[in-house]
Amino acid sequence: MLKGTGVSGGIGIGRILLAENHSLEYEPVQVTDTETEKRRFHNAVDRFCENTRSQAEALRISAGEKEADIMLGHISIVTDPFLTGEVEKLISSGKCAEASFENICEMFIQIFSAADDDVTKQRAADVTDVKAGVLRILLGIEEADVSGAPAGTIICTKEITPSMMSKINKEKIAGIVTETGSTTSHCAILARVMEIPAVMSVPDITDMAKNGDLAVIDGNKGQVILSPPEEQLKSYTEIRERLMRERRELEQFRGKPTVSADGRRYELVCNIGKPEDAAAALEYDGEGVGLFRTEFLFMNKTSVPTEEEQFQEYKKAALILKGRPLIIRTLDIGGDKEIPYLGLENEDNPFMGFRAIRYCLKNRDVFKAQLKAILRASAFGNVSIMFPMITCVEEVRKGRALVEEIKSELKAENTAFDEKIKVGIMAETAAAGITADLLAEESDFFSIGTNDLTGYTMAADRGNADVSYLYSALQPSVVRMIKYIIKAAAEKGIPVGMCGEAAADPMMIPLLISFGLTEFSVSAPSVLRVRKYISSWTKERADKVAEKVMTLSTEQEIREYLESVL
């Protein structure tokens, strides 16, 4: 029996697949053409960012919103002006790009690793992931490919990377065992979310294991058993079957309506980033799509997608859903979502700057092409339009005016579209929360984006370890903001959904039921679990919980009370 660190619970039984990642060692060289070396570095960074966006999108389906956002956070690290500036200084002194980038990354890793809290230490793990990813590109080293692993595979490797995790088929992977890694690494988090048993930091496991070896890994105890005796194999098989049985219990909620214990009906839909994800939403038994993030159609290109290109993508999603709701959010760029060819200028505070609806209203041609594509796609399904990052009534009115203008053009062209298409907004800023009653007069529906709403309400960047303790949807101010938004929508008779992470949080669900939320939009893998949570609450019981929560003064008090209730 070999010992390591159990980072993702469960029992994995399968055959070893040795996934060999080539060494990232290199011989540092002095460079004389420093400008060419800087371009080589920036080209590697651009390619890393492009790869990361694609990997993050794959993770949205296999793991969920939060995990994909963590991966997108790697882009913020590698494009940080201070980091890139320091790398350029070292290159200017004659160091090669590999050595320059690694030196600066190691500086950050040492700083973050010395911290006392796990959140800051996680930043060190993130920088380590970024360092390895960029070095692979600079060195021209291909990563081990595990995408074609057969069913019942236990991946065994010195180090598993986030990009490897994004490519695996979690249904075929029985477990993961590595020589490096910790509970706070991004890959450990992903393994937990994807429900793959994993043990990390097992010394010399790649030397001891052989391809095809039968193995058992216990992610709870951090144990690995190579070629287990028959009795031991039988015991672990029984334990695994019991755990799988508990997971299968969720299947009783497949194909069922989403109803509370007292029979109240809710809409349970999914967040997607590309048309193909709509199929995954249905596969996980989602009832439609509550958020189609269209910026990912823009991110994987070198120029603005044409109206026709967008139309085909939106139409595809609508056809896949066969009349189920499809809420398409208009382009939400800026902040942490950079699209180089759009020419956005660097801003000191991009999250408070020229992003989302602000960009679209000023870049009318880009906005109009997208709206026209969405309107044309509305002829093929139950499509709605949603504007992001609304802060005032004028933005809604301008957006709706453009929709009406395009409708007139489509009529003149005899082009089919849904003349009654609904136009709603993301309620994700403090301004939208405070003026929700006014915005409800201008909107057909609301969708609460709790990720940004929490950040803007608490004035806290979730990526900043020093203020991360403030970033919680259970903060009293955020809970009150959510309640007010839902109340304002109800008073105006418009539906209100939630597409942020809180929609799938079991601690938030009784509050959302009590406040009157009508739609939950979650990652596809969360559908059955959320349906189960909702089914366990009555409105009366949820009201009592919410009433108590509204008397509490701190996030900790609210969290501890809700944990005791659950």
First vs last C-alpha separation in the chain: 37
Q: What is the CA radius of gyration of the chain?
A: 25
Q: Give the integer Cα–Cα distance in Å for 118 and 124.
A: 10
Residue type, 89: K
The pair phi, psi for residue 140, each rounded to 5°, is 70, 35
Q: Give the integer Cα–Cα distance in Å for 256 and 89.
A: 60
| Triad 305, 54, 472: Cα angle to 5° | 105
Identify the three-state secondary structure at position 8: strand
Are 271 and 280 in contact by the 8 Å Cβ rule? The answer is no
Residue type, 384: S
Active site residue 392: no
* Cβ contacts of 337 within 8 Å, gap of 6 or more: 72, 295, 299, 355
The pair phi, psi for residue 439, each rounded to 5°, is -70, -30
Pick from 187, 183, 231: nearest CA to 19: 187
Pick from 69, 133, 57: nearest CA to 102: 133
Are 84 and 20 in contact by the 8 Å Cβ rule? The answer is no
Q: Based on the number of CB atoms within 10 Å of its own CB, is 163 exposed (0-12), middle (13-18) or buried (19 or more)?
A: buried
Taken in order 282, 288, 289, 290, is the CA torsion positive or negative?
A: negative
- Where are the alpha helices (H) located in 140-185, listed in sequence order? 162-167
Pick from 463, 555, 453: nearest CA to 119: 463
Which residues make beta-bridge pairs with 6? 199
What string of H, E and C letters represents the secondary structure of 274-336?
Answer: CCHHHHHHHHCCCCCEEEEECHHHHHCCCCCCCHHHHHHHHHHHHHHHCCCEEEEECCCCECC
Element (H, E) at 57: helix 34-62
Q: Give the integer Cα–Cα distance in Å for 387 and 329.
A: 6
Given the residues 74, 105, 186, 270, the one annotated as active site? 186
Active site residue 499: yes
Taken in order 271, 58, 210, 128, is the CA torsion positive or negative?
A: negative
DSSP sequence for 469-488: GG--TTSHHHHHHHHHHHHH
Active site positions, annotated: 186, 499
